[in-house]
Every structure is written in C-alpha cells, then in structure tokens.
C-alpha cells in the first residue's frame, strides 16, 4: 500500500526485540535505516538481517553529546532524516520507598531526556528542509514516533521511574506535534503493553539482568504476573515484536499523514 523508498530513518535501541523488528520493517518498506544500540554486536546483527540499506552507530543515547552525533551521522551517512523512532529503553523497577535517586533519574534519562536531545538535535535539519520544500510548493511529510507504555498511561505499581519517563515522553510528543506541524512533521506515540522481549521474560529463580553503564539491572516478570496479564488481556496473550513494529510502521507511513499528537496503544486491549 505504500513505499518508504528514498526515506532515511533513525531507530534507537534497534539491536534487539521491538527495536530490531522496527528497523527491519522500515528497511523492508524501502527506507534506509540508521541502527543505534548501546551494544555494537546486536546492532550489527540487526543490520545484517534487516535487508536494504542500513548503517550502524552504537553508543549510549543518555550520554550528553551523543544524540547530536547520532543525528549528524545519520544525515551524513544516509543523506537526510525523514523518520525518527525513539525506541531505546529498559525497566529498572522497585516500589517507591526502595527506589534510589540514581534509579529514578536513569529512567527519566533514557525514556524522556534522550528523546528530547535527539529531537532537539534534529530540529534544525527538519525545519530548514521543510522551509525549502514549502518555498518550492511541495509538502513532504516527516515522522517522529516516540515509544511509551501502558505504564505511562495508566501507571503501574513498582514502576514510579519507568511510568514517569513514559508519561513524560507523551507530553514531549504532544508539544512537538504543535510546534512542528508547520514543518509538516507528524509526531506521535505508540504505547506498548507486554511484548515478548528479554525485558518481559519469566523471572528465573536466579534472576536475569542486563548491563547498563556498568550496572547490572534485573529484568523480567514474575511468572504469576505474566499469567495474570494473559488472563486480563482481551486477546489472551503477550504481543510479538513484529506486531509491535506494525503499529510503529503505521505512524512512519503516509497512512498517518493527517494524524499527529496521538497515542496509539498496542497492548492487545490490556490496561493496568
């Protein structure tokens, strides 16, 4: 129904899971894709399997200065920037009385501060390009998709930091939708429920963890909670990464050219 041929896309957190599926979906639709991940090896694996034109720049999007480098390199290596998907993130959960300042700030940094810095870095290119096109009598739509969560919409016990970051990115989305509409940029959010990734794997007795900035962060979900989610979810199951990517692809495509400032929940009907 549509092609993204000639479009340049940037996807953060694209080395695994949902981000990997988003990068592949964009590449298969014809876009050239800059693949960013904290770890280089999985980013290169995504590039090798996505098909189409890809580039890789591994690095920590929460490090000051790196978002600017990432945007600059995307434009230089892909010849432009038409689609931005702020997908990178992780969970670091605890009830509020056990949540440290470091833990809370880490959730804000990755889920709302880093997307803010990426979008701020991209603003000059997006505005200047749009002004040229408008002066030529052309309307070219560009796309921003920020990833939120049903935790950011409904809240979730044990996720004060994660829920706050994911709620914050909704405010950022709706503000930029109003600021950037004049530049023909659609800015929207997709909010996920439980999607089958390493962050939602059943917790083993020993516990699983990921390494972020030298910290070991425990991830996973208690098996009883997963079963309760399946029972509460109208579709009766967790989502697959490819299904999550489909919702994002809609907002990256011409099908959403008159949709902006919206939050689309891809949760199988689940609300916390």
Q: Which residues are annotated as catalytic?
A: 162
Backbone angles phi, psi at 135, to 5 degrees: -65, -30
Q: By C-alpha distance, which of 176, 252, 260 is closest to 9?
A: 252
SS (H, E, C) the chain: CCCCCCCEEEECCCCCHHHHHHHHHHHHCCCEEEECCCCHHHHHHHHHHHCCCEEECCCCCCCCCHHHHHHHHHHHHHCCCCEEEECCCCCCCECHHHCCHHHHHHHHHHHHHHHHHHHHHHHHHHHHHHHHHHHCCCCCCEEEEEEEEHHHHHCCCCEHHHHHHHHHHHHHHHHHHHHHHHHCEEEEEEEECCECCHHHCECCCCCEEEEECCEEEEECECHHHHHHHHHHCCCCCCECHHHHHHHHHHHHCHHHCCCCCCEEEECCCCCC
Q: By C-alpha distance, which of 170, 179, 173 is closest to 84?
A: 173
């Amino acid at each position: 129904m549509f092609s993204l041929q000639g479009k340049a896309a940037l996807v953060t957190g694209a080395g695994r899971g949902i981000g990997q599926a988003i990068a592949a979906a964009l590449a298969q639709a014809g876009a050239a894709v800059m693949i960013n991940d904290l770890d280089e090896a999985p980013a290169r694996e995504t590039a090798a399997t996505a098909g189409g034109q890809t580039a890789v720049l591994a690095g920590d999007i929460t490090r000051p200065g790196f978002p600017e480098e990432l945007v600059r390199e995307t434009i230089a290596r892909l010849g432009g920037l038409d689609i931005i998907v702020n997908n990178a993130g992780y969970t670091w959960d605890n009830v509020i009385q056990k949540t440290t300042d470091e833990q809370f700030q880490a959730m804000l940094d990755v889920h709302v501060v880093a997307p803010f810095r990426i979008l701020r870095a991209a603003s000059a290119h997006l505005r200047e390009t749009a002004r040229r096109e408008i002066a030529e009598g052309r309307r070219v739509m560009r796309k921003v998709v920020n990833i939120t969560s049903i935790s950011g919409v409904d809240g979730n016990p044990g996720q004060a930091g994660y829920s706050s970051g994911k709620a914050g990115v909704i405010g950022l989305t709706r503000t930029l939708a109003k600021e950037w509409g004049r530049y023909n940029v659609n800015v929207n959010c997709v909010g996920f429920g439980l999607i089958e990734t390493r962050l939602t794997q059943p917790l083993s007795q020993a516990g699983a963890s990921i390494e972020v900035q030298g910290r070991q962060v425990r991830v996973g979900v208690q098996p009883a909670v997963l079963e309760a989610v399946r029972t509460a979810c109208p579709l009766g199951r967790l989502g697959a990464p490819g299904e999550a990517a489909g919702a994002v692809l809609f907002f990256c495509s011409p099908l959403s050219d008159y949709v902006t400032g919206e939050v689309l929940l891809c949760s199988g009907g689940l609300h916390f």
